[in-house]
Structure 1
Amino acid sequence: MQSTPVTTTLKFPEKPITVIVPFSVGGGLDLTARSLEKLAPKYLGQPLIVVNKPGGAGAIGWGELAGANPDGYTIGITGIDMLLLPLYGSAKYDYPIALAPIAQVAASPMVLAVQANKPWQTLDDLIKYAKKNPGELKFGHGGVGSFPHLLGEMFGQSANITIEQVPFAGASEATAALLGGHVQLSFVNPMVIKEHVKNGTIRILAVTGEQRISDPVLAQVPTFKEQGLDVILTNWYGIAVPKEMPVKVKNKLAEGFKALIADPEFTKNMSNIGLPVQYLGPQETQDKWLADSQKLITTLKDTGVLEKIKAQRK
């Protein structure tokens, strides 16, 4: 009878795991990482250390993740922007190829937000105003080529209006600019803006999802689709690792996170920050990356954003 070699026992993880968040504190990716961090010791046997690496619309953090040692001790939080950057030629890596998905954690639509003291009660009011005052409306977003930027371009094209694009260093800066009245509109994550909606400083005019948001604070807001505009894309939050990671380590992480994401406490924490948990396993997540990439490529070409971004970067 053969004895089992000791090497088959996977002693992983034996130390804390670093989680790279490629955006600043307070955004959707950051809040997802911090919700995972709370329950990680229970399911992974080690704590997670969240490290924010903002810059380059996510390119700095995801670049670091793609180039990290694939030993399982560096993982990262993913979002839809990850599919966009390689299309612009602004990334050192083609992330969907350089990274391997561990899980999709959650998915959320974006919302079109304006200051509540502005006269626009509906999306139609805003569009009419934009047509009467072309170029007067400023649209804030977290960087050229970011997902919110793309949504702004899609909205402008779909509504046939001209909006001036104002890039900021990240989503929280763009939201601050909206609250301060430096820009008139912004596509933001509903959870980032929910408290401002509650206290009456921000009004939401439309939702980018197929359905309305179930949260009672935002449930009355119609989708773009309902209002006759083709602005339908949701952001998602997931976990990915460097591609070359050994299968056993990858599987261990995938199993641990699957159990963590299924924990009712985690679901409740995510729900509290307005991020509905929508778990997908590694293969399903890979398929989603592919399908969304195709949709984004089509959108980029149809809106002329791709040429615009490439011209800007030259």
Structure 2
Amino acid sequence: MKHKKATISDIARTINVSSITVSRALRGEDGVSKELRDKIIFKAKALGYKKSKNNVNILILHEKTNLQDNPNFNFTLQCIETNLQNRNAEYSIEFVSKDKQNQKELPYKLLKGNYFDGILFIGRFNEDYINFLKSKVKCQVSYANYSPSLDCDTVRFDAANVTYKQCIYLLDNGHRRIGFIGNLSTYILGEKVLGMKAAMNKYKLQINKEFFIDNKADDFNKKLLKILTLEDRPTAIICQGDLTALKVIKLLHENNIKVPEDVSIIGKGNQEVASISIPALTTIDINIEYSCNSAIDLLMKRINDSEKPYENITINGFLIERDSVKKLTKGEYA
């Protein structure tokens, strides 16, 4: 005959305290003395209490200073919150600046002594900071961030797959001279180049690195306009994200360069604004909702088995065809 599992209410009743007090003690939260906390933990073990898989508290850390700058980031937070709410999990969301990361300052919630079962990092956190917090919270997942030396579970978008799909779509539409605009100083650039090379190889073509422009460069506008005046100018440009693509379209419009008549543009992210821009932006949808669910699944998996090997989950995207890419005739790209 199976014994009934001990509950928080059972623990509270045996030592004559409230269920809320027991819950706080088991989570390591403020408001419970050390003596009472030790007593509650001892009684919980004696009764064979085991935490429910869904009875967890998650700390969500992000580094975005202004969430309104990136609609997809807002959607990411919404998906993560919805997933945790559906699991009846508790969570806190906190911004951690680069300065705090560099100085290895604890997040406010941890500094106040709150207990968390796991941390979800959103964005490009410093690797040293992630490792620093591992001594405080062992179970971690990094979302939308990756480096080969990062010893942590990760969920990220497959940069090589995304760029391959962007490039092969342009090639299939007759484009042969293809440029790229994005941050050229990140590790992930190598994966993007790999995706472009795979696509170009199918057409027995090579990448022209002269058509690569760093969107962080001070002279970005000047460089872009200059390559578009070349005799063998690119007929299409891959942008690292939708916002970059829309900024490029605006710059070209201000300089009487038409999209897609003069040059085609393709983005990544499928942000809402991409569908209402002029022209509407062809882009790659990166499956944000699915990736968020995967991140929470992976974190719960880590919490339930903290000694398992680290996993790196990559999510593919899919093409959203709109109006910013022109189909060239053979005479136009020959």
Given the two structures, how large is their TM-score scaled by the length of structure 2? 0.40
Question: Between Structure 1 and Structure 2, whose CA radius of gyration is higher?
Answer: 2
Given the two structures, how large is their TM-score scaled by the length of structure 1? 0.42
Higher relative contact order, chain-length normalized (CA < 8 Å, sep 6+): 1
- Greater share of residues in strand: 1
